[in-house]
Structure 1
Amino acid sequence: MLPWQKLGETTMPGGGPMTLMQRGSEFSVMSGVVTLMNSRMSNSEEQLAKMSAARLGARPAPRILIGGLGLGFTLREALKCFAADSAIVVAELVPEIVEWARGPLRPLHGDSLDDPRVSIHLGDVATAIGGGKPFDAILLDVDNGPDGLFRPANDRLYGAAGLAAARAALTPGGHLAVWSSHPDARFTKRLRQTGMQVDEITVRARNNGKGDRHTLWFATRS
């Protein structure tokens, strides 16, 4: 078996260490011994964008916010699924993630960051949400789930105040989509308390229908 090679490392603002590793054509971002992202497990991140686009339908010139660039699976699927006249803002807190996307991770990202529909917000996604211009869809994948496991400050995105801010930033009929590595009944309850229509969906981590079961929430503003 090929050995893992370290390609880069950084520290998450307000969080722990982050290391970019490669083994052959496989890439992984680690926090200590915990895998945050892996290029072999992309289905649930892709489904986040695919299902989001299906829910918006043929809405003209949709404005999309993706919280978390990661390995780029959600963004690349969004570029396939959302309309040619869409505007996609990607909020990424860690500058090195964007640098890796243009460097050692380019085999994964390709030219997705150069697509004219895409703009990068380098900073906290909460700042982008509260920027004043509404979004038709907000897609959040900024931690392993709503509990702020790797960056405790992410809790404010998923608490009552953060969800209220996300709802206020949505256009009528727009939706908030949230990715998680696990179900969370308390978060489902908080989402429903916003008054939005909530759907909770379980999807597999791998494209072949195998791997861990991940959870997606879609909360639609009526």
Structure 2
Amino acid sequence: MIPWEHLDTGPIPGEDTPLRLMRRGEEYSIFIGPTELMGTRVSASEKALATLVCARLRDRPRARILIGGLGMGFTLRAALDALGPDAAVVVAELVPAVAAWARGPLAPIFGGSLDDPRVDLRVDDVGAQIRRTPGQYDAILLDVDNGPEGLMRAENDRLYGLEGLAQARAALRPGGILAIWSQGPDAAFTTRLKRSGFAVEEERVRAHGGGGRRHVLWLATRPTGGAKPHSGLSRGRRG
């Protein structure tokens, strides 16, 4: 077997363990410690995160979406393929090195998507982007960790708690969709989404597209009417 080659290291703001960009033949992966966060070999569910959402935005003129986590660009490219020419895509990537890799060793994988005039890449915390932009987005796509139970960064847990979900709901336009990628299911998180005032669908999608393990996508829609979050919203992060 071809051994992994370490190409670069990217510090994570506020964390001790950095990301590592690795290559093995034609395959690229990003690791944190011994754990692989993402790789070019497995991308079907990351693409589905965008295609399932953008299919629901086809009739919305000037759709505006926020993608949390640049990763290897699979979600971004799928979104650009599905959205119209008048759409706008903001990508918030916390780790500066990840943004640099997209224009460096991973440029062939990104295929020029960062040069698309619809794309605005910001090296920033997606949570901060959400808090600064109430009522701005038709969809928010989060793929910033292994799911609601954060692996990469403890601060990511805030995105998936009741306060973070309330902020995401406020950042969406009526009928907007909060979509979240996860390595696996989490019944408690589904409950938190519902308590936060979302209509929730849970999709199981193949990691490889054709077979193998399944990842979980939550599609949580902000109602267009007057539905309110449940009264328990203020009681703690985990609910």
Identify whether the pair has TM-score above 0.5, normalized to the shorter chain: yes
Query: What secondary structure does 1:189 align onto?
Result: helix
Query: What secondary structure does 2:19 align onto?
Result: strand
Query: What secondary structure does 1:146 align onto?
Result: coil
Q: Give the structure 1 partner of residue 3 of structure 2.
A: 3
Moved more, 7-16 or 167-176: 7-16
Moved more, 186-195 or 1-10: 1-10
Does structure 2 conserve the Cα–Cα contact (< 8 Å) formed by 1:14 and 1:152? no
1:170-189 alignment to 2 at 5 Å?
170-189=172-191
Q: Give the structure 2 partner of residue 125 of structure 1.
A: 126
- CA-to-partner distance for each residue in 1:110-155, whole Å, 9 max, x for gaps? 2111100000121100111122351000000000011112211001
- CA-to-partner distance for each residue in 1:15-36, whole Å, 9 max, x for gaps? 3221101111100001121000
Q: Which amino acid aligns with 1:165?
A: Q
Larger Rg computed on CA atoms: 2
Q: Give the structure 2 partner of residue 140 of structure 1.
A: 142
* 1:55 positional shift: 1.8
Q: Distance in 1 between matches of 2:13 and 2:213?
A: 28
Does structure 1 conserve the Cα–Cα contact (< 8 Å) formed by 2:50 and 2:141? yes
**TM-score between the two structures when normalised by the length of structure 1:** 0.97
- CA-to-partner distance for each residue in 1:74-100, whole Å, 9 max, x for gaps? 000001011111000000000000100
Q: Distance in 2 between matches of 1:70 and 1:11?
A: 14
Does structure 1 conserve the Cα–Cα contact (< 8 Å) formed by 2:54 and 2:82? yes
* 1:69 positional shift: 0.2
* 1:10 positional shift: 1.8
* 1:14 positional shift: 2.7
Unaligned runs of 5+ in 2: 224-239
Q: Distance in 1 between matches of 2:218 and 2:107?
A: 29
Measured on the aligned residues, the alpha-carbon RMSD in Å equals 1.0
Give the aligned length: 221
Q: Distance in 1 between matches of 2:106 and 2:122?
A: 19
Q: Distance in 1 between matches of 2:115 and 2:141?
A: 20
* 1:2 positional shift: 2.2
* 1:51 positional shift: 0.2
* 1:108 positional shift: 0.6
Does structure 2 conserve the Cα–Cα contact (< 8 Å) formed by 1:135 and 1:171? yes
Identity %: 57
**TM-score between the two structures when normalised by the length of structure 2:** 0.90
Matched, 1:67 2:55: no
Does structure 2 conserve the Cα–Cα contact (< 8 Å) formed by 1:19 and 1:31? yes
Q: Which amino acid aligns with 1:123?
A: D
Does structure 2 conserve the Cα–Cα contact (< 8 Å) formed by 1:121 and 1:128? no
Moved more, 85-94 or 132-141: 132-141
- CA-to-partner distance for each residue in 1:174-220, whole Å, 9 max, x for gaps? 11000000100110000000121100010111022x23210000110
1:1-222 alignment to 2 at 5 Å?
1-15=1-15, 16-132=17-133, 134-208=136-210, 210-222=211-223
Unaligned runs of 5+ in 1: none
Q: Distance in 1 between matches of 2:8 and 2:119?
A: 25
